[in-house]
Amino acid sequence: MIASPPPLSLYVHVPWCVRKCPYCDFNSHQAKGEPPFADYVDALLRDLDQDLPMVWGRPVQSVFFGGGTPSLMPPEQIDRFLQGASARLQLVPGCEITLETNPGTAEHGRFEGYLAAGVNRLSFGIQSFDDGCLRRLGRIHDSREAEAAVKLATDAGFDNFNLDLMYALPGQDLDMAVHDLERAFALGPSHVSHYQLTLEPNTLFAARPPACLPDDDLAWDMQEHCQALLAERGFEQYEVSAYARAGRQCRHNLNYWAYGDYLGIGAGAHGKVTFGHDGSILRRWKQRHPARYLASAGTPANIGGDDRVAPAQRAFEFMLNALRLVEGFGLDTFELRTGLPRTTIQPRLEAASARGWLEIAGDRVRPTPLGRRFTNDVVSLFLAPPA
């Protein structure tokens, strides 16, 4: 039984981009002309209204505009949405409000507008500072534009921002990967997300892999060198791909990884809500296609699916998230979030510990460096329901 529901976040999906990148499998669609943002904000608020009864009275600790390219949205529309959200939900004081930004969409005045609307954190999709790599990734910006966009944001007053970088890029060598990080540090981020490029099914890159992809050994070398460099420069790794300065971890993503709750609104958005009265956990997702979403938001037709998470699935779901964290998790949090007693996972924790994948100290369970390398194997131990 779950005594009280976990912290609650709000995810808002913006499904349009200037151009679809060939490696991207997110629900993002190339915009034909200016997307109907005013109508979209109306739809988002109808969508939120429909989800509200599931979370009455619960404070919201973070908001995240993800995409797609949320920075295509004019500040006035972000402002209108946040005003509507604040009228419907209690956003905690100091609520973290992040907006994903493609540097190719930066314009004078935009960042001042976002700040005035209440956005207090930005996440820039930089990917690389090498113009050849950026071209091969099909990005709409070059390195100079990326630097200029970050400068515009800091001049406007943003001091809490993440830079997304990818490594193991086509044509990239170790020096280039390290150089990308050096250019990132020079911009003064509080957070760096460092992702290995993966060839996702149903993308152009999966259908026609680019030439000169680094092999696994080189990718591993890049990761090790970059991890060490990030640590040396004061960015502590707290998750598989996330590094932050002290106190600047992304609260929104931490809530996902700690198996917290979130409402997901917008085209194709996913949410997870725990109900205090019966301890059930609901996963809900919305219509994926922007046109269908716009037409159906706020009506039952907009619900892509509602799925109750059975108790037998919860240990696996919890581990899938919590074992991404360098600090792992507390067994009390496991019990609070899943409603299962710790005894249901004890034998499997011990099996993982015997293989050198987990370190168990009192109440704390941490993945070892070996466990972090084989996360999929560790997590799959928790797939089967307890014997």
Ligand X SMILES: C[S@@+](CC[C@H](N)C(=O)[O-])C[C@H]1O[C@@H](n2cnc3c(N)ncnc32)[C@H](O)[C@@H]1O
Which range binds ligand X by CB under 6 A, 21-29, 283-291, 301-309, 358-366? 21-29
Name the residue type at position 22.
P
Interactions with ligand SF4, residue window 96-115 (CB under 6 A): 102
The tokens for 384 are: 């089967």
According to the binding rule CB under 6 A, does residue 166 interact with ligand X? yes
According to the binding rule CB under 6 A, does residue 79 interact with ligand X? no
Q: Which does 20 bind (CB under 5 to 8 A by kind): ligand X, ligand SF4, none?
A: ligand SF4
According to the binding rule CB under 6 A, does residue 6 interact with ligand SF4? no
Question: Toward ligand X, which CB reaches closer, 40 or 357?
Answer: 40
Question: Toward ligand SF4, which CB reaches closer, 69 or 98?
Answer: 69
Q: How far apart are CA 22 and CA 24, in angstroms?
A: 6
Q: How far apart are CA 128 and CA 120, in angstroms?
A: 24
Q: Running DSSP on this structure, what letter comes out for residue 209? A: P
DSSP string, 140-206: S--HHHHHHHHHHHHHHT---EEEEEEES-TT--HHHHHHHHHHHHTT--SEEEEEE----TTSHHH
Interactions with ligand X, residue window 126-155 (CB under 6 A): 127
Question: Toward ligand SF4, which CB reaches closer, 132 or 369?
Answer: 132
Q: In the bound complex, what is the minimum distance in angstroms from residue 271's beta carbon to ligand X?
A: 17
Which range binds ligand X by CB under 6 A, 182-190, 191-199, 226-234, 305-313? 191-199
Q: How far apart are CA 76 and CA 360, in angstroms?
A: 50
Q: Which does 164 bind (CB under 5 to 8 A by kind): ligand X, ligand SF4, none?
A: ligand X
Which residues make Cβ contacts (< 8 Å) with residue 177, sequence separation at least 6?
167, 168, 169, 222, 225, 226
CA neighbor of 379 nearest in space, from 352, 353, 356, 354: 352
Buried/exposed code over 214-231 (b: 16+ C-beta within 10 A; e: otherwise): beeebbebbbebbeeebe
The tokens for 360 are: 């168990």
Q: In the bound complex, what is the minimum distance in angstroms from residue 57's beta carbon to ligand SF4?
A: 34
Q: Which does 77 bind (CB under 5 to 8 A by kind): ligand X, ligand SF4, none?
A: none
Residues of the shown chain interacting with ligand SF4 in the complex, contacts defined by CB under 6 A: 17, 20-21, 24, 26, 28, 67-69, 102, 125
Residues of the shown chain interacting with ligand X in the complex, contacts defined by CB under 6 A: 23-24, 26, 66-67, 69, 100, 102, 125, 127, 164, 166, 195, 197-198, 200
